[in-house]
Amino acid sequence: MNAATATTPAKTIPIARRGLMLVISSPSGAGKSTIARTLLETDKGIGLSVSVTTRPRRPSEIEGVHYDFVTKPQFERLRDSDALLEWAEVHGNFYGTPREPVEIAMSEGRDMLFDIDWQGAQQLQDKMAADVVSIFVLPPTMTELQSRLHRRAEDTEEVIRTRLANSRSEIAHWGEYDYVIINDDLTAAFDAIQSIVKAERLRRDRRHGMFDFVRKLLDEEPVLK
Binding partner of residue 55 among ligand ADP, ligand 5GP, none, CB under 5 to 8 Å per kind? Answer: ligand 5GP
139 binds ligand 5GP, rule: CB under 6 A: no
Taking CB atoms within 8 Å and a gap of at least 24, the contacts of 186-191 are 186/31, 186/34, 186/35, 186/38, 189/31, 189/35, 189/137, 190/35, 190/38, 190/39
Binding partner of residue 151 among ligand ADP, ligand 5GP, none, CB under 5 to 8 Å per kind? Answer: ligand ADP
x-marked contacts with ligand 5GP along 93-112 as a string, rule CB under 6 A: --xxx---------------
26 binds ligand ADP, rule: CB under 6 A: yes
d(CA 196, CA 162): 31
167 binds ligand ADP, rule: CB under 6 A: no
Question: Angle at Cα 82 formed by Cα 129 and Cα 172, nearest 5°?
Answer: 45
122 binds ligand 5GP, rule: CB under 6 A: no
203 binds ligand ADP, rule: CB under 6 A: no
125 binds ligand 5GP, rule: CB under 6 A: no
Smallest distance, Å, CB 210 to ligand 5GP?
33
Look up residue 178 and give its amino acid.
Answer: D
Among 16, 165, 172, 186, binds ligand ADP (CB under 6 A): 186
122 binds ligand ADP, rule: CB under 6 A: no
What is the DSSP secondary-structure string of 119-155?
A: HHHHHHHHH-TTTEEEEEEE-S-HHHHHHHHHHH--S
**Residue 220: what are its φ and ψ, rounded to 5°?**
-75, 135
DSSP three-state, residue 193: helix
Which of 32, 67, 30, 31 minimizes the C-alpha distance to 49? Answer: 67
d(CA 133, CA 197): 9
CA distances from 183 to 34, 55, 141 (A): 10, 25, 10
x-marked contacts with ligand ADP along 66-95 as a string, rule CB under 6 A: ------------------------------
Smallest distance, Å, CB 1 to ligand 5GP?
36
- By CB under 6 A, the residues from 38 to 97 that bind ligand 5GP are 51, 55, 86, 88, 90-91, 95-97
In the beta sheet, which residues pair with residue 209?
Answer: none
Binding footprint of ligand 5GP on the chain (CB under 6 A): 25, 28, 51, 55, 86, 88, 90-91, 95-97, 115-117, 119-120
Binding footprint of ligand ADP on the chain (CB under 6 A): 26, 28-34, 148, 151-152, 183, 185-186
